[in-house]
Structure 1
């Protein structure tokens, strides 16, 4: 249960950063994942989760590529915004 709590904590921090930048971020509970979308373009959306790896916790795209370190949500949010704006 501690892993799920940590995962939810980090996803909540990322959600706050994304919402400050105008995106919609919805935390789903089971399993904890973040659904990120641009409210102006409903078709632009992505799912991000958070996983423990040997070097710490990391945000990860739905296809498995790492977004960034979970203890640094600002650069991760900026990367998500860049990727969503390219679609």
Structure 2
């Protein structure tokens, strides 16, 4: 079964976010089913891991927290990565 264009777009944006997160010292692993990034800080307990997916909405593609709140536009993975780092490091 081949991937749909929507799945390719989602994978592309999640890959860009993963690269930004890894530059900031976090671990971002792409999970296939469901297609999400599992994000954790290797310096902290794995219990502080979070998942983020990428969804199309009326204004374009957006990164979304596991609880449904939007992180930010997929066109700006740098800003989304900064927000994710802020949340993960605030949970100390």
- TM-score, length basis structure 2: 0.92
Report what 1:5 is aligned to.
8
Mapped to 1, the partners of 2:47 and 2:90 lie a distance apart of 13
CA shift for structure 1 position 69: 0.2
- Residue 72 of structure 1, aligned match among 66, 73, 76: 76
Mapped to 2, the partners of 1:22 and 1:65 lie a distance apart of 24
Structure number, greater radius of gyration: 2
Mapped to 2, the partners of 1:63 and 1:43 lie a distance apart of 16
CA shift for structure 1 position 30: 1.9
Report what 1:59 is aligned to.
63
- TM-score, length basis structure 1: 0.97
Mapped to 1, the partners of 2:25 and 2:90 lie a distance apart of 16
Mapped to 2, the partners of 1:43 and 1:21 lie a distance apart of 19
CA shift for structure 1 position 31: 2.1
Q: Where does structure 2 lack aligned partners over 5 or more consecutive residues? A: none
RMSD (Å) for aligned C-alpha atoms: 0.6
- Residue 19 of structure 1, aligned match among 8, 17, 22: 22
